Amino acid sequence: MTRASLDKQPHEVASMFDGVAANYDLTNDVISLGQARLWRKAVAAAVDARPAQKILDLAAGTATSSQPFAQAGAYVVPCDFSLGMLEVGKRRHPWMPFTAGDGMRLPFKDEVFDTVTISFGLRNIQDTETALRELYRVTKPGGRVVICEFSQPTWAPFRTVYTEYLMRALPPTARAVASNPDAYVYLAESIRAWPDQPGLAALLQKAGWSKVAWRNLTGGVVALHRATRA
């Protein structure tokens, strides 16, 4: 594989997600070998949504990542720039205030959300630091960010097996279930190119966030980063 498919422009990323929207959630369950549901539970626990809280779920896609916060009684705004993903989400959750918007220029005023969160989306945004600064801007002072993203398994033998899975088994599996298998080649490449746990923590600090911490899930296949706005 080459790095070429990683150099996608934002409109290409949006149209790639438009293309996978119909089968997106099913494909996730299959290619994560059922782990996706556990990761979502961990995100829900970290966000700890409460009634009357205002939560931004950036890169929410079909809003599967937003649903636990709404179920906990919070006011959750799913925001994404793929109209195809938003359409699928709106059909499933017509009461949610879906908002079309780019993570690098959020269509919200300063300091409006108690918590901002992003699951499996930050890696896809062209400029990570700009997105982290935008998330900071729209968060109330004292508010929090929770980021759920693929990362690096910490135990070397497991890392080797996982890398084999990403590069060899995932593309054919995706070909069997996904509507646009190329999107899952991009997935494998983008995970390999993404910063590890301390690398993302450093980017959060650089964007102004404090009290940065993370927790590994599934041995570090996924990491949950948390931070606070001063």
State the binding site for S-adenosyl-L-methionine. Answer: 62, 80, 102-103, 119
CB atoms within 10 A of CB 222: 24
> How many residues can be counted in the chain?
230
For residues 36 and 204, which CB has a smaller minimum distance to ligand SAM in the complex?
Answer: 36
For residues 136 and 160, which CB has a smaller minimum distance to ligand SAM in the complex?
Answer: 136
Task: Determine the Cα–Cα distance for residues 223 and 230; give it in Å rounded to an integer.
Answer: 23
Amino acid symbol at 102: D
CB of 135 to ligand SAM, least distance (A): 11
For residues 32 and 197, which CB has a smaller minimum distance to ligand SAM in the complex?
Answer: 32
For residues 20 and 227, which CB has a smaller minimum distance to ligand SAM in the complex?
Answer: 20
Which residue intervals of 21-155 are DSSP H helices?
A: 24-31, 35-47, 67-71, 83-92, 128-138
Binding residues: 62, 80, 102-103, 119
- Is the separation of the CB atoms in 123 and 149 below 8 Å? yes
- Is the separation of the CB atoms in 183 and 20 below 8 Å? yes
For residues 31 and 85, which CB has a smaller minimum distance to ligand SAM in the complex?
Answer: 85
Residue whose CB is nearest to ligand SAM in the complex, by number: 61
For residues 191 and 201, which CB has a smaller minimum distance to ligand SAM in the complex?
Answer: 191
Give, for 160, the enclosing helix (H) or strand (E).
Answer: helix 156-164
Pairing of the two strands 139-150 and 222-228? antiparallel
**Site residues for ligand SAM per CB under 6 A:** 10, 13-14, 17, 59-61, 64-65, 80-82, 85, 102-104, 119-121, 124-125
CB of 230 to ligand SAM, least distance (A): 25
CA 179 to chain centre: 20
Phi-psi label, residue 55: left if phi above 0, alpha if psi -120 to 50, beta otherwise: beta
For 85-118, the DSSP string reads: HHHHHHHH-TTS--EE-BTTB-SS-TT-EEEEEE
CB of 15 to ligand SAM, least distance (A): 9
